[in-house]
Amino acid sequence: MFNRVLRAVRLSMAFALIPAGAIPAVAVAQPTAIDPRAQAILKKATDYLAGLKQFSVDTTSTIEVVLQSGQKLQFDNGASASVQRPNRLVARRKGDLVNQVFYYDGKTLSLYNPDQKVYASAPAPDTVEAMLDYARDSLDIIAPAGDLLYRNAFEILMRDVQSGFVVGKGVVGGVRCDHLAFRNAEVDWQIWIQEGARPLPRRFVITSTQVAGAPQFEVHMTNWNTAPKFADGTFAFTPAKDAKKIEFLRLTSGGAPVKGGK
């Protein structure tokens, strides 16, 4: 699950420091199977997203990096994404580590770094899903919250999951949610899904269990708009006059980057 995002994320939770009475009883014992209720809630959410013809969302994320000394550092990023199925996407990311705009207009994928005033463009497949696969596998580019943009997001998220359960109810940003927890061989992950007729994901916490120091990745999702009106040109990239075009560093079959993709 989240195989495309999980390259650098994990966390250890010090339950020993929390009074047992403060933890929901279901969370004290680790389930060894997948609760059908947890699957059903997640499936409802991913089906709902897959059925939206267009939407926009803002995210704030925190990624932890563990130094060789064991000390943890945190880096924050904000992002916004606008999607129009089957083949339009624009995403903006700005934070401690990156400032980029990601454009896809159904034919071309462009990545623009406004701070450096450089951009790269490449022909892309004609669906959001195929474009995301191409961007990940050939260019090592991951769109913000990319897994949720797939129509088969449920299968992606549940891949290799060994256990899962409903923790209970929670409130994220003032929104009442179902809190779910899942585990596979490499990561633990949690998701908070809005109650009601619009089961939108509101928060993810992803914990790697196989990396020293267990750094964590966390993302909050806000300002969901499930029926936005996009202006003409929203998904088209027009470089500034002083922007310099560069080449993507494409990946070889062995994962090594090659300039220009040859």
pLDDT in tens, 148-189: 889 999 999 999 999 999 999 999 999 999 999 999 999 999
Provide the number of structural domains found in the chain. 1
Give the phi and the psi of residue 4 in degrees, each rounded to 5. Answer: -85, -15
In which domain, by residue range, is 92 found? 32-164+213-259
Grade residue 98 by pLDDT with cuts at 50, 70 and 90: confident
**Contacts by residues 75-82 (CB-CB < 8 Å, ≥ 24 positions apart):** 79/144, 79/145, 80/56, 81/56, 81/57, 81/143, 81/144, 81/145, 81/149, 82/54, 82/55, 82/56, 82/228, 82/230, 82/234, 82/235
- For 17-75, the pLDDT digits (tens) are 333 344 455 555 667 899 999 999 999 999 999 999 999 999 999 999 999 999 999 99
Name the more confident of 15 and 118: 118
Sheet with strand 175-183: strands edge to edge = 163-172, 175-183, 187-194, 201-208, 216-225, 54-66, 72-84, 88-95, 99-104, 108-113, 118-123, 244-245
Query: Does residue 13 carry a pLDDT above 60?
Result: no
Tokens (6 digits) for 135: 């961007």
Is 1 among the domain residues? no
Is 120 among the domain residues? yes
Is 10 among the domain residues? no
Is 47 among the domain residues? yes
Give the phi and the psi of residue 105 in degrees, each rounded to 5. Answer: -115, 15
Contact 213, 72 (CB under 8 A): yes
Average pLDDT over the chain, rounded to an integer: 85
Grade residue 1 by pLDDT with cuts at 50, 70 and 90: very low
Is 179 among the domain residues? no
Segments in the chain forming alpha helices (H): 25-28, 36-51, 128-139, 153-158
**Which CATH number covers residue 39?**
2.50.20.10
Task: Give the residue-averaged pLDDT of 214-220.
Answer: 91
Is 21 among the domain residues? no
For residues 201 and 203, give the distance between their C-alpha atoms in angstroms, rounded to a whole number: 6
State pTM to two decimals. 0.83
- For 130-153, the pLDDT digits (tens) are 999 999 898 888 765 678 889 999
Is 125 among the domain residues? yes
pLDDT, position 94:
87
Is 109 among the domain residues? yes
Its sign, for the CA torsion 40, 169, 48, 182, is negative
Q: What angle do CA 38, 82, 97 make, to 5 degrees?
A: 85
